């Protein structure tokens, strides 16, 4: 397992601000403080704002969790982010994304999506990640299906998880003890 490029502070050395952020994360919907946030705690205010935005985008949008997790997996795969994949592939399965879809994304194959909503979220995410923009056709489909708020949320979800993937990859935040990489590189 590759070691983190960035020291992850232990709970015994946290400042009052860092401890406040950890407590906020632990008492929120995540219930725990993943190493991602331990890395971000080098700037407690940044960690706090990032975790709050993440909680909003993951747990409080108009998008169904199945669709959010589909977008998150597509972003994780685009960035080959093992850590993001490790946490979100099981969550995607838990909220109803079929194993065949998860496996296809993992292996960079077209996933067997069901329904216009899944196809639109996947196309929107792939276009945004690969082309840095979404075609008018895909945008219009997303707008018709999810409305203005849903399109804004889907775009923000893409940006947030790309930022998280970059953070995890660049600082080489390790997978949890005993976990093996799942994505073929």
Average pLDDT over residues 37-63: 94
For residue 10, is pLDDT > 90?
Answer: no
Mean pLDDT of the chain: 95
Closest CA to 120 of 138, 106, 104: 138
For residue 48, is pLDDT > 60?
Answer: yes
Residue 3 has what pLDDT? 79
For residue 87, count other CB atoms closer than 10 A to its CB.
18
Q: What would the pLDDT profile of 130-160 be if each residue is shown by its tens digit?
A: 999 999 999 999 999 999 999 999 999 999 9
For residue 185, is pLDDT > 90?
Answer: no
Residue 11 has what pLDDT? 81
For residue 81, is pLDDT > 70?
Answer: yes
For residue 31, is pLDDT > 90?
Answer: no
Return the sign of the alpha-carbon dihedral for residues 170, 175, 180, 183. Answer: negative
Residue 72 has what pLDDT? 98
- Model confidence at 12, pLDDT cuts 50, 70, 90, reads confident
For residue 170, is pLDDT > 60?
Answer: yes
Residue 34 has what pLDDT? 83
**Six token digits for residue 67:** 């669709």
For residue 112, is pLDDT > 80?
Answer: yes
Kindly list the distances between the CA atom of residue 63 and the CA atoms of 110, 141, 156, in Å, as whole numbers in the listed order.
22, 15, 12
Residue 144 has what pLDDT? 98
Residue 9 has what pLDDT? 85
Cα Rg, the chain, nearest whole Å: 17
CATH fold of the domain at 65-171 = AhpD-like (1.20.1290)
Average pLDDT over residues 47-64: 95
- Secondary structure (3-state) at 28: coil
Segments making up each domain of the chain, as ranges: 13-59, 65-171
């Amino acid at each position: 397992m590759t070691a983190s490029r960035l020291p992850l502070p232990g709970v015994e050395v946290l400042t009052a601000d860092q401890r406040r952020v950890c407590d906020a994360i632990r008492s929120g919907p995540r219930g725990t403080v993943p190493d991602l946030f331990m890395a971000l705690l080098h700037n407690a205010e940044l960690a706090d704002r990032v975790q709050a935005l993440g909680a909003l985008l993951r747990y409080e949008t108009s998008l169904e969790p199945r669709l959010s997790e589909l977008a998150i997996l597509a972003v994780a795969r685009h960035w080959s982010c093992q850590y993001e994949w490790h946490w979100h592939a099981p969550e995607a399965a838990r909220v109803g994304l079929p194993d065949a879809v998860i496996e296809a994304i993992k292996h960079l194959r077209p996933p067997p999506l069901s329904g216009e909503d899944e196809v639109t979220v996947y196309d929107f995410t792939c276009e945004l990640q690969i082309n840095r923009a979404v075609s008018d056709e895909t945008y219009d489909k997303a707008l018709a299906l999810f409305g203005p708020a849903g399109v804004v949320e889907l775009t923000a979800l893409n940006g947030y998880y790309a930022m998280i993937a970059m953070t995890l990859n660049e600082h080489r935040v390790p997978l949890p003890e005993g976990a093996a990489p799942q994505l073929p590189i």
